[in-house]
Amino acid sequence: MPAPGGSAQVLITSDSAKGQRLGWPQKIPGSEWVIFSSRPMDKSWRETKILAQSLKTNERKTLVEGGLQPLYLATGHLVYCQEQHLMAVPIDPVRARIKGEPVMVVDGIAQSGQNGVAQVTIADNGTLAYLPSSTEVALPRLVWVTQKGEVTEAIKDRQNFGYLNLSRDGRKVVLNIPSSQGDMEVWVYDLSGGSAPLRLTRSGCSWDPIWTPDGKRIVFDYAPTCGGDGDMYWLAAEGGTPELLLARPGPQYPVAFGPRGELLFVETQPSKGWDVTVLEMKAKAEPRPLLDTEFNEMIPAISPDGRWIAYQSSESGSGEVYVASYPDLHGKKRVSSGGGDEPKWSPDGRRLFFKHEREVMSSELEPGPDFSFSEPKALFSSNFWGFLQQAWPSYCVAPDGRFLMIEERAAGSGLQINVVLNWFEELKRLAPPGKK
């Protein structure tokens, strides 16, 4: 796409038959070649390759096996990340041909175990900046938050928690924790401290776990590797062998159960955007569409009495919270203004909560046969996981009205970032460009 704007043009297409995931594209200046990374959708990020493709002939060649974040530098080097190392090798930019053996030029770069992304950047003037792997980062913690914003610790353990769901009795939470091998695991924590944390899944990528209303089972989405579409499974809350619940093409994520557990609301993504479907747990039938317009409909929440459904929709041009009667969807009203997502009902069904940027908003329902509500007001604002990122589920409402949330690294706790000026001279010393 031209820098001033205009129509986008396709440069490189993935091999859909092989299920490739492409990333980190860069056109080598003054050359016909584009470098980029590619990995099969069903493989780990450790099996990513760095490729080059000609914009004239469409010739494609492999430059590096097992590398990420490729970058061509003005020094004539290709640099990339590999297992907490920054690697470099001279390259002929005209022919996209490697000229020598790769060497390690920086050791000990912080790298995500989930997707392999390394915390490093290089400026055109030769300045290098990176987060060292030895940096001690304050991990997030689970906290209880009152409706006045008062925070107390829920458990002592600190992990990279995410996608949490509270059991209906408020005693246990199921959530995701990434492993050091790049898998996404499902864990159960007893909030009373009466039992040790329980890991329910190990290999593969298990997302968005939710409790059944009776607290006996947990439903989640599973794929062999993170990044691919998965199927829905469930298993006993005490552990065991997962059982297949729903297998369909495309992404599908369990979001919420109906009040009695007879219905499971599922987010799906057909070609036109995100929709909400309903799976009848006792009937072995395909999920039926519920919210399936040309807009994105997401994050449904059924009121405790089963009369209303709250959800997020993009029909106004941005994400907003709506409420309609259930199951006929009559009398739809927009509750939020200026953005809102992830609606949740209070246990008594008299209040509707939702997120807006860093804030938790609240709207009171007014008595009557129709849905009417008060002007939403902000309860509190803080540094919680999933708010600015708009990731969900990011908070839960307990039976006593408190919120269970993930508090991220405290503001001002600081990180060590290493900055090296004029680093290109060191690069040329460690990996001489060689003869052209």
Q: Do 67 and 102 have their domain in common?
A: yes
**How confident is the model over 299-317, as pLDDT tens digits?**
999 999 999 999 999 999 9
323 located within any domain = yes
What integer is the mean pLDDT of 55-74? 96
Asked whether residue 10 is assigned to any structural domain, the reply reads no
Partners of residue 185 on adjacent β-strands: 177
pLDDT at 69: 96
pLDDT category at 271 given cuts 50, 70, 90 is confident
**Residue 434: pLDDT over 80:** no
Identify whether residues 25 and 130 lie together within a single domain. yes
- Would you say residue 336 has pLDDT above 80? yes
Residue at 6 is within a domain: no
pLDDT at 435 over 90: no
Average pLDDT over residues 113-135: 88
Is 208 among the domain residues? yes
Residues 82 and 214 in one domain: no
Domain that holds residue 30: 20-134+416-430
Query: pLDDT-derived band of residue 189, with 50, 70 and 90 as boundaries?
Result: very high
Residue 12 is assigned to a structural domain of this protein: no
43 with 89, same domain?
yes
Considering the chain, what percentage of its residues have pLDDT values greater than 70?
95
Q: What is the mean pLDDT of residues 13-20?
A: 66
Specify whether 38 is located in the same domain as 103.
yes
pLDDT band at 330 (very low <50, low <70, confident <90, very high): very high
**Quick one: pLDDT at residue 180?**
72
What pLDDT does 296 receive? Answer: 95
| Statement to judge: residues 98 and 245 lie in one domain | no
Q: Answer yes or no: is 14 within a domain.
A: no
Q: Which residue has the higher pLDDT, 9 or 73?
A: 73
- In this structure, the answer to whether residues 150 and 102 fall within a common structural domain is no
Residue with tokens 């056109």: 27
Q: Say if residue 150 is in the same domain as residue 124.
A: no
Verify that 207 and 253 share a domain, yes or no. Answer: yes
Tens of pLDDT, residues 380-412: 998 898 887 777 899 999 999 999 999 986 555
286 with 203, same domain: the answer is yes
Same domain, 237 and 368: yes
Is residue 153 within 8 A of residue 141, CB to CB? The reply is yes
% of residues, the chain, pLDDT over 90: 73
Which pLDDT score is estimated for 41? Answer: 67
Q: What's the number of CA atoms in the CB half-sphere (13 Å) around residue 348? A: 9
Report the chain's mean pLDDT, rounded to a whole number.
91
Q: Would you say residue 431 has pLDDT above 50?
A: yes
pLDDT recorded at residue 436: 45
252 and 394 housed in the same domain = yes
**What's the domain count of the chain?**
2
**Does position 17 have pLDDT exceeding 80, yes or no?**
no
Q: What is residue 135's predicted lDDT score, i.e. its pLDDT?
A: 67
**Is 32 a member of any domain?**
yes
**Domain assignment of residue 11, yes or no:** no
Q: Over 60: is that where the pLDDT of 154 sits?
A: yes
Least confident of 291-295, 335-339, 432-436: 432-436
pLDDT at 421 over 90: yes
Model confidence band, residue 413 (pLDDT cutoffs 50, 70, 90): low
- Is the pLDDT reported for residue 12 higher than 90? no
CATH code where residue 115 lies: 2.120.10.30
